[in-house]
Chain A
Amino acid sequence: MLLALSIGAAPAVAQGGGKPVTLLNVSYDPTRELYQDFNQQFARYWKEKTGQDVTVRQSHGGSGKQARAVIDGLGADVVTLALAYDIDQIAEKGELLPANWQSRLPDNSSPYTSTIVLLTRKGNPKGIKDWGDLGKPGVSVITPNPKTSGGARWNFLAAWAWALRQSGGNEQTAKEFVTRLYRNVPVLDAGARGSTTTFVERGIGDVLIAWENEALLAMKELGPGKFEIVAPSISILAEPPVAVVDRVAGKHGTKAVAQAYLEYLYTDAGQEIAAKHFYRPRNAAIAAKYRAQFPELNLVTVNDVFGGWAKAQAQFFADGAVFDQIYQPGR
């Protein structure tokens, strides 16, 4: 109700048009197509409501790198990143938005969700059925670098969570498993879209650990009939968050339109666009409408398994943490 009221109220702020406005949306790697569509739709909506022309520029890259760029001065009016930790960093190190940013929009400021799946070549020649197959000798695995990519961090945690749930699974066996898995990775791209390029266009690897939306995109648009999605027995609920970068938007005088832009993601129109681009919508009715395109998965959450992103980051991805320990060159 509050959201609906605020969307209705936002145009009133700028009623009567005004000079054209430009927003910069700094996002993570695989959201290019989603926001190309969404931006056009939002611009039409905003023009109709307020008479004002809005242009939304997009910047994409590995989520961690994008967060670093915003902290270093990239003038993002809004950020739509792969994981909350990256926006926390913008709040903490850049002091560009308040620490409670995640409570300002519904669903922890994540208007859509996704998860991690496995994409194999047509016929699944290596017989990959679950995470465990990715650690076997002779299987070439494509996944991006967790140091720079938000998607890669989701991939890593999903694999770790699977290992923990195996019979006799514990921190040590999980560590041994991901060590074997990353020994099978010949190329670490900086972002998820780069890994998709490596797997789909360059023909490298037997399996791509991918965002579900990216895997579906590859299946249906990048290489129809060339790939298969393997739904692992367990995966992770990814909640890509969005936020207005208050200090930048304030300086640009774009706060109202930036807020309306993110709120529009929660509307039926915004949720439809998300679903069309293979992101799982939050809206139950629209989620039901698109249920067929999303496989049923047993999903765990970062909070449940790892105690939240701050803990997960410190344990696995900080300098000298687990990833650095298992990914020693030459091992």
Chain B
Amino acid sequence: MSAVRHWVGGFIIVAGTATVAPRVMAQQEGATPDSVPLAARVDELEQQILVLKRLRELEADSIAAAAKDKSTVTASGKDGFSIKSADGKYVLKLRGYAQADGRFFGGDDSKAVPNTLFLRRARPILEATVGKYFGFRIMPDFAQGQTVLFDAYGDVNLTPAFAVRLGKFKPPVGLERLQSATDVVFAERGLPTNLVPNRDIGFQLGGDIHGGVLSYAVGVFNGVPDLGNGDGDLNDSKDLDARVFLQPITKGSLKGLGIGIAGTTGTEQGGLSGTTLSSGLPAYRSPGQQTVFRYRTDVAVPLNSVLANGRRSRLVPQGYFYSGPFGIQSEYAVSRQEVRLGPSAAELTHTAWQASGSFFLTGEKAGFRSPTPKKVFDPSQKGFGALELVARYGELDVDDDAFPTFASPTSAITKEKSAGVGLNWYLNKQIKVAVNYEHTAFDGGAADGDRKAEDFFVTRFQHSF
């Protein structure tokens, strides 16, 4: 199409210059200027001017039409870099984010955990829209000296209410897990996230009904342990994951209310894969990302380790409420797993919950996604970005029946309680600086009783585009 327009534009110019000139010459052949009446010569010149003006007009039209048909390349803070076809049906986006942390542990007299500066996440994102219905996303992570594929999936978006997703992605379970790592209000997600899957491979049907009043998703996945990021399955059985989320009030002061429930069910069997033990069981972390609970493992004799041994199920009620600058978010997670160690077997039930609150000192609207600052950071324009105060409390409770058979009471905690506060500074849509402090107390987990409390102080610089 654009080639035709270019051709037309060029043709018009060449044609015009090629035809006006011969006409003048034809008029002049056999006629001296003096023999042509003055009025006729004026008319002739006037025609030439009109023709040249029209040619310029057509050239401008042709250029404008060609520009309209051209693919566009854009770079914007919100959507990263993108290349879009003229009809908008094909879009390739390059986005990404990086998070650089400073992590400090107070009261750690034994220096068991080093204070450190490190790259928490470094994730380029390639997204594409392919025609009207199709799209894909690929997101690896290159942080912490390793490469891990987090997202690699394709979408078939038939209607807003019915879409299919296939590949590796976040299963529809944990509320905070479903929130982007760039949007969570604390540097690290809270304790319930320990009990839900991180990434899994499968396919999912989902969509928004009535503009998002009801969102649903149901999918079949390989199945991964709590907090797991899986690339395969340990057995033939598959997990069924599902979530419904309601935002029932579309007007008024309760418009920002959302409640939902998610669950999973499946069967997991741990065992040896070659010489490698795959227990099919999780380990749980503290807010400072220290492993505080793990099942018994025998490195010398792998089969003397605790293994997943049957039904695994989860139930996760969840909700949030946003009103003006205020926001609260909460979820409760129950994770059940049948385990065995030699002849001993049990069904263990672990629970966790948390509630977090946020408040924008600078008046921005709180929400599930990061805010757009009212004034981006620009001192010359008296703009300093958005400031957000955050606080949370959460608990994680490991089934008492796990001890002492399946987990060692001297190295695995049975309970953790965590309280934290923080300040987020959004300089603009792309850059965020965060400071968090979180105190976590533990029951059990040490030879002399309780694991020493964790005082975790983290600073984060985040750049996303």
Interface residues of A (CB under 8 A from B): 65, 68-69, 72-73, 137-138, 140, 145, 147-148, 183-190, 194, 198, 202-205, 327, 329-331
Contacts and interface: CB of A to CB of B under 8 A. Distances in A.
Given A137-B26, A138-B27, A147-B8, A186 B1 contact: no
B54 A183 contact: no
B79 interface: no
Contact of B8 (A190, A203, A329): A190
A197 to B, nearest CB: 9
Nearest to B57: A202
A203 B16 CA distance: 16
Given A145-B8, A186-B20, A204-B50, 18 more contacts: A65-B1, A69-B1, A137-B26, A137-B27, A138-B23, A147-B4, A147-B11, A183-B19, A186-B15, A187-B55, A188-B12, A188-B15, A190-B8, A202-B50, A202-B54, A205-B47, A327-B15, A329-B14
Contacts of A198: 54
B7 interface: yes
Contacts of B100: none
Among the interface residues B8, B17, B87, which one has the most CB atoms of the partner chain A within 10 A? B8
Contacts of B255: none
Contacts, number: 71
Contact of A186 (B14, B23, B87): B23
B45 to A, nearest CB: 13
Contact of A204 (B1, B8, B14, B54): B54
Interface of B: 1, 4, 7-8, 11-12, 14-20, 22-23, 26-27, 47, 50-51, 53-55, 57-58, 62, 87, 89
A186 B16 contact: yes
Contacts of A73: 87, 89
Question: Nearest 4 CB-CB pairs, A to B?
Answer: A329-B14, A329-B18, A186-B51, A137-B26
B54 A148 contact: no
A330 B18 contact: yes
A225 to B, nearest CB: 20
B47 A68 contact: no
Nearest to A197: B54
Summarize A's interface: helix, strand, loop or mixed: loop
Contacts of B58: 187, 189-190, 194
B15 to A, nearest CB: 5
Contacts of B12: 145, 187-189
A248 to B, nearest CB: 13
25 contacts: A65-B1, A73-B89, A137-B26, A137-B27, A138-B26, A140-B23, A183-B22, A184-B19, A187-B12, A187-B15, A187-B55, A188-B11, A189-B12, A189-B58, A190-B58, A202-B53, A202-B54, A202-B57, A203-B50, A204-B47, A327-B15, A329-B17, A329-B18, A330-B18, A331-B18
Given A147-B11, A183-B19, A329-B18, A68 B1 contact: yes
B273 to A, nearest CB: 48
Nearest to B48: A186
A23 B11 CA distance: 34
Contacts of B57: 202
B15 A148 contact: no
B1 A72 contact: yes
Nearest to B43: A125
